Each structure stands twice: as structure tokens, then as C-alpha cells.
Amino acid sequence: MNIAIIGAGWSGLAAAVKAKQAGNEVTVFEASRHLGGRARALSTTLPDGQRVMLDNGQHILIGAYQQTLKLMREVGVDPESALARLPLTLQFPNGSGIKLPLLRAPWDALIGIASARGWTWGDKLSLLQAAARWQWRGFSCPEDLTVARLCQSLSAKVMRELIEPLCVSALNTPAQRASAPVFLRVLQDSLFAPGGSNLLLPRVDLSACFPDAGARWLEDRGGRVMRGERVVSLSPVPCGWQVQGEVFDQVVLAVSATDAVRLLEQTQPGLPAALAQGLQNWSTRAQALQFEAITTVYAFGRGARLAQPMLALRSDAANPAQFAFDRGQLNGPTGLIALVVSASAGERDVIQSQVLVQARQQLGLELQALRSVTEKRATFACTAGLLRPAMEIAPGLRACGDYVAGPYPATLEGAVRSGLNTISC
């Protein structure tokens, strides 16, 4: 088959690699000159003028991302070199919170819970009892259940120091609105699978983790990656779809939900009624998605250092950041700190000012902001009872991306799995 993939983010390139492995001809169209979509590299300048590579947002991978790790290996990236493997840690600057040892599941979770600092035995017992219930029920629950309702038997401290930061980091949606079934799937694959809970923090920029290597792998095998090539419309033809004047047997939309809808709107005029209705139905569901923003404040302080590569922060309306990352312990110069605000709301400059004050108060660091990046549509809001758009749009026309129907929230693993599932070998 001759396959066109529109979009060179993680899902699009995952689809492209699988399609090429299956012996297809593959062309990737990417509007930007840079690959990776919302998980790509960008550069900035330190106060001394040194240029450093950052990312358009601090990302976390975990050991449960099996398809992502496998795909990285297939295109020549060694995850053990590109990613720092650490035990799952949700500890605060004073050392309170939970840290799992590097042991096999479920012993890592059990020992981590039992040894959590600052928790009473009542706190720990409430979590162990809830975890046993979730496992006994096969990590399933009603589709319309929220994470807050799922966890209502937990102590206030466990909710505040584990569930809420874990939920907002994985689903980018507050626990009061977040989907309990999706949250349980994340827990099942992370806390109850060998190595699944390990944190994998990038030692290289996100583009180097997969997108650049994936594109090279594809081009080395005869695939085409058309950078700076914006597709503005599709045209159905008797034997497939026409894109940029070329006919393809299959087309995969690996762009954001908003861009996919925009592209389909340009496609619909003059189509047969049944086909036009199918495209409209898909677009209606995609347009119903709501989105959450993520803000990453990159800041610098001479000699600034955290006790460990990642720390949880106490977050509220005046202190919006949930996590701090010491890039100097990962892939940046000493003193470079990334502060992350998941499900962020408000003006970027206001958030940046609040985060710098938060860093002073909670971390004891005087930092200077280098660059703040806000992805206004970073993820879809993974709310309870959400109906996500299907993979199949029309015959020969499919969609992939972290927002397409699937068991995972808007994560790199969700994007990769969606891309792989889009290709029928």
C-alpha cells in the first residue's frame, strides 16, 4: 500500500515506522520544520549567553511505556542511555511522601507505601485497602466515575500527597473531574507490572528521544518525510485519497483534534452525502473534546540544585506548580530548573511570577526565569464518561493521536500506541 501520514509527532511517526516495517510505501507530511509535535526540542539562552536545548514542556515517561520503549529501540535509540531510570518518587522538599524501591511489583508498591514518610499507619492502611479492592475488581469501575469518588475512602493526606499529584501528572485533569477507569488503567500498568512504576526522565531532548531517530530510520529505508509541507485539504478518489496532488491507498491524520477537524471541513464540500455525514459525525465528537493547558517555567539560579532529579511541590491557587525538575542532574547545566504546572489556568506571566515565588518559599531557591512555555491545548481533558473520537473516520481514512479512543490518557505512550494501532498489517 501507499500510505500518507499527515503529522510527524510521536503518533504519526509511530504509524510511519510500523507501516514501513509492514512493507508499505510511506510519506509523512509535516507542516513544521521541526518534528515531534507537542513533545519536541527547543533552544534557549542562559544568562551567560550559553545556548541550551530544552523541550516545549517537561515530560515524564514511566517504565509502563512498553510500546514507546520498544519503538525507540527499533529506530536505534537506547532507552537506558537516553532516559534516567529512577524509582517512582512523589516526595516533597522536606522528604515527606512516597518513594518506591527498585524492586519487582507489587513489592515495590507495598514497601513504598509502608515506608512513606509523614504518613500515619491509618493513611497507609487506607491506601493498601483501596489498592486491594481495585486489584480484586480487576481495575475496573463505572465509566462515569471520577477519581475523587473512586478514592473517597482514602485519607486526606494520601489524597493530597499521592492521588492528586499522580492524577494531574498522568491525566492532566483534576481528580474531581478526571476519569476513574483511565486512572485505574494507569495504576494497573504502572504499579502492578514489573518495572512499570519506574520514572524515566529524559537525558536528551525530546526530539532526540524518538522523532529525529524515527524520521532518519524511515528515510534510510526509502520513506519520505516532507518537512514544512502543510496539507490543507483531502480529496477522495475511486481508489483512495488524494493528498498534495498524489493518490494514496490510505491516509492517517496524525494531527491534533482541532487540526483534524479543520482539515475535514475543507474536505466535505461536494462529497457524497453518506461520506460527508461520516466525516461530520467524527468531527462533532472531536469538537466536543475539552482541553487542558500545561505551563513549564524554565528558570536558572547559579548553583541551584534539588535533593533529587524530581520533587513534588505543594500546590494551590497561589502556588500553581506541582513538580520541579533539576535539569542539571539530567541533561542540562547545573542551576537549570524546570517547574511544571499541569492543568494550568491564567496568564503565562502571572503563572511565571507565582512559580518563582513558590520556588523561593518551598525550595529555598532564588531563580531567574529563562523561558516559560504554555501549551494551551496540551492534552484533552480526560473527564469521567468521556467519549473520544474513533480511529476510523471513513474508508481509507483514519486518525491517530493521544486523543483518539483508547485506554490511555494524553501521554506519549497513548500517542505511540494509537499510531501503531492505526496501521493494519
**159 grid coordinates:** 489524597
The CA distance from 149 to 133, in Å, is 14
The CA distance from 147 to 188, in Å, is 14
Question: Could you tell me the end-to-end alpha-carbon distance of the chain, in angstroms, rounded to an integer?
Answer: 10
Contact 331, 310 (CB under 8 A): no
Amino acid 108: pLDDT: 83
Question: Which amino acid type is present at position 73?
Answer: R
The CA distance from 417 to 401, in Å, is 9
Q: Is the pLDDT of residue 270 over 80?
A: no
The CA distance from 368 to 302, in Å, is 9
**pTM of the predicted structure, to 2 decimals:** 0.93
DSSP classification of residue 359: I
Q: Is the pLDDT of residue 6 over 90?
A: yes
For helices 211-220 and 10-21, angle between their N-to-C axes, nearest 10 degrees:
30
Amino acid 271: pLDDT: 84
Interval 138-153: pLDDT, tens: 999 999 999 999 999 9
Give me the chain's average pLDDT, please: 93
The CA distance from 103 to 113, in Å, is 13
Tell me the CA distances in angstroms from 88 to 91, 128, 343, one per residue in order.
9, 17, 21
Backbone angles phi, psi at 407, to 5 degrees: -85, -10
Q: Grade residue 193 by pLDDT with cuts at 50, 70 and 90.
A: confident
Q: What percent of the chain has pLDDT over 90?
A: 77
Q: Which of 283, 235, 229 is nearest to 259 (CA)?
A: 283
Q: What CATH number does the domain located at 41-84+200-204+291-380 have?
A: 3.90.660
Q: Environment class of residue 210 by beta-carbon count within 10 Å: exposed (0-12), middle (13-18) or buried (19+)?
A: buried
Which of the residue ranges 188-202, 249-263, 357-371, 388-402 would you say has the lowest mean pLDDT?
Answer: 188-202
Q: Is the pLDDT of residue 161 over 60?
A: yes
Question: Which amino acid type is present at position 29?
Answer: F
The CA distance from 179 to 388, in Å, is 12
Interval 231-263: pLDDT, tens: 988 999 988 999 999 999 999 999 999 999 999
Instruction: Supply the Cα-derived Rg of the chain in whole angstroms.
Output: 22
Contact 119, 158 (CB under 8 A): yes
Q: Grade residue 88 by pLDDT with cuts at 50, 70 and 90.
A: confident
Amino acid 23: pLDDT: 96
DSSP classification of residue 256: -
Q: Grade residue 180 by pLDDT with cuts at 50, 70 and 90.
A: very high
Q: Which of 199, 197, 200, 201 is nearest to 108 (CA)?
A: 197
- In CATH terms, 2-36+207-289+383-422 corresponds, of 1.10.10.10, 2.60.40.10, 3.50.50.60, 3.20.20.60, to 3.50.50.60
The ranges assigned to domains in the chain are 2-36+207-289+383-422, 41-84+200-204+291-380, 88-197
Q: What angle do CA 55, 57, 60 make, to 5 degrees?
A: 100
Contact 275, 389 (CB under 8 A): no
DSSP labels, 122-191: HHHHHHHHHHHHHHHTTT---TT-BHHHHTTTS-HHHIIIIIHHHHHHHHSS-TTTBBHHHHHHHHHHHH
User: How remote is the C-alpha of 286 from its chain's centroid?
Assistant: 18
Interval 20-72: pLDDT, tens: 999 999 999 999 998 988 888 788 888 888 888 888 888 889 988 999 999 99
Q: What SS3 state is found at 331? A: coil
> Quick one: which H or E segment has residue 261?
helix 257-267
Interval 309-330: pLDDT, tens: 999 999 999 999 999 999 999 8
